[in-house]
């Protein structure tokens, strides 16, 4: 146990110091105050000498010396929970809640802390019951609602999560609309998986109604439209998704280009790619545009087009495309050298994570709408730049 626990103990030490001062102002002499102050300074000395375990023992004694120190007890319970000692945290907060002299606010705070203990221990049913009871009496409703949203996400009960998020927004004005849109998308994906496209479309439209800038919902609506043969609608949704966040262009580009080609809209495809090349941080639009140039003007023009832009926007995938276009067929030693270059470029691409969370840096190889590491929604995006797409 090192500096992290030292920092956790500092608030307890500060509060204990305040109590020492308060006791001193009330009674500057006496055995009780003397014992209390000596214990406090002993604990502070352990903190300064980087002995957090001994410091914790001392501050526990301080809490025993004066059972009325609500804040000290609360801080100790939080410390136990952060250290993973959830059983001790639960017992302490249960004892704290059962004290007859607590005010209504203190009792509610103790219950909130107890609920967090249950969540950390994985006792979601107990935490849910506790927060639901708090919500029923409308005390600390925003805190209880936030915890219930977290619980229902873990349980994948998206309807209840939507209900709690909407109540939180009504109570506090919190910007939960992107979160609610993601919950609707989860329900829409479930319906799609069950073979219920109409229900899936309805839920995805609910997501757009809640948050018109929900990229995920537009992507889903585009794929549902494709499945129904509604090609124009699919194009509109895919283009909208790319307009909202060009970082996701690589996720939909192949479907979008195939739909342009099916409708014979090469002019619209070219205009869209030209626009995206100005906004997309990756090379997906650039590679697609070079493929169009290769078909219309030849390989040499496509190589020149790519080489010119890769100076400004380096990319392993872009360089690999230049190699493929420049050396379509070689023999002898030259073919061996070109083959080695291709192999090295492919290995570079294989070793790089395709996606990264902007919140915690987690790097999965597939797209997740909720980060498995930090649980943030919509924070994972394709990796761009030299190692990216």
CB 143 within 8 A of CB 165: no
Residue-level pLDDT at 313:
78
Q: Which of 341, 340, 368 is nearest to 353 (CA)?
A: 368
User: How many other C-beta atoms are found inside a 10 Å radius of the C-beta of residue 366?
Assistant: 8
Residues 6+ apart with CB under 8 A from 364: 353, 354, 355, 372, 380
Helix (H, G, I), strand (E, B), or coil: what is residue 9? Answer: helix
Name the pTM for this structure: 0.73
Contacts 24+ apart (CB under 8 A), 256-261: 256/222, 257/288, 259/226, 259/231, 259/234, 259/235, 260/235
Q: What is the DSSP letter of 377?
A: B
Residue-level pLDDT at 52:
53
Neighbouring C-alpha atoms within 13 Å toward the C-beta of 275: 14
Which parts of the chain register pLDDT below 70? 1-69, 72, 139-140, 330-332, 351-353, 385-389
Whether 176-244 and 3-171 are alike in CATH topology: the answer is: yes
Q: 357 - beta bridge partners?
A: 380
Return the CA Rg of the chain: 30
Tell me the C-alpha distance between 130 and 119, whole Å: 11
Q: What is the DSSP letter of 315?
A: -
Residue-level pLDDT at 126:
84
CA angle 273/276/282 to nearest 5° reads: 110
Q: Which of 69, 78, 128 is nearest to 99 (CA)?
A: 69
Residue-level pLDDT at 171:
82
CATH of 3-171, one of 1.25.40.10, 3.40.50.720, 3.30.200.20, 3.90.180.10: 1.25.40.10
Residue-level pLDDT at 59:
55
Residue-level pLDDT at 330:
66
Q: Which of 258, 312, 311, 249 is nearest to 284 (CA)?
A: 249
Residues 6+ apart with CB under 8 A from 294: 301, 302, 325
Question: Cα 213 to the chain's mean position, in Å?
Answer: 18
Residue-level pLDDT at 25:
45
Q: What is each CA distance from 248 to 137, 219, 239, 335, in whole angstroms?
A: 44, 9, 11, 36
176-244 sits in which CATH class? mainly alpha
Q: Which two tokens stand for residue 202?
A: 């309805």
Could you tell me the residue ranges of all domains in the chain? 3-171, 176-244, 259-351, 353-389
């Amino acid at each position: 146990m090192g500096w992290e626990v030292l920092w956790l103990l500092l608030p307890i030490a500060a509060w204990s110091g305040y109590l020492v001062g308060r006791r001193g102002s009330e009674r500057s002499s006496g055995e009780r105050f003397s014992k209390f102050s000596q214990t406090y300074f002993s604990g502070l000395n352990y903190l300064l000498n980087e002995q957090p375990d001994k410091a914790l023992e001392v501050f526990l004694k301080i809490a025993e010396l004066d059972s009325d120190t609500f804040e000290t007890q609360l801080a100790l319970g939080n410390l136990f929970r952060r250290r993973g000692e959830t059983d001790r945290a639960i017992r302490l907060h249960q004892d704290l809640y059962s004290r007859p002299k607590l005010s209504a606010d203190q009792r509610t705070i103790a219950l909130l802390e107890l609920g967090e203990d249950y969540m950390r221990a994985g006792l979601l049913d107990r935490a849910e019951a506790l927060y639901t009871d708090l919500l029923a009496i409308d005390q600390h409703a925003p805190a209880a609602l936030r915890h219930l949203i977290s619980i229902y996400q873990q349980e994948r009960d998206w309807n209840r999560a939507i209900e709690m998020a909407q109540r939180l927004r009504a109570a506090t004005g919190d910007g939960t609309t992107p979160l609610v849109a993601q919950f609707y998308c989860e329900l829409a994906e479930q319906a799609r998986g069950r073979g219920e496209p109409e229900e899936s479309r309805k839920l995805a439209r609910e997501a757009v109604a809640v948050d018109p800038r929900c990229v995920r919902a537009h992507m889903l609506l585009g794929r549902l439209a494709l499945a129904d043969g509604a090609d124009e609608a699919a194009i509109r949704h895919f283009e909208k998704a790319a307009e909202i966040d060009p970082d996701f262009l690589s996720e939909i580009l192949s479907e979008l280009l195939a739909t342009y080609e099916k409708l014979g809209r090469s002019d619209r495809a070219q205009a869209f790619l030209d626009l995206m090349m100005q906004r997309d941080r990756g090379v997906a639009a650039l590679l697609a545009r070079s493929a169009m140039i290769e078909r219309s003007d030849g390989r040499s023009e496509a190589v020149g087009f790519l080489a010119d832009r890769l100076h400004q926007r380096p990319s392993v995938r872009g360089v690999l495309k230049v190699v493929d276009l420049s050396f379509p067929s070689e023999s002898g030693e030259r073919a061996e050298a070109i083959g080695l270059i291709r192999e090295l470029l492919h290995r570079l691409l294989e070793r790089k994570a395709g996606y990264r969370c902007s919140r915690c840096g987690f790097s999965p190889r597939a797209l997740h709408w909720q980060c498995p590491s930090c649980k943030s929604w919509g924070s994972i995006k394709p990796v761009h730049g030299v190692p990216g797409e």
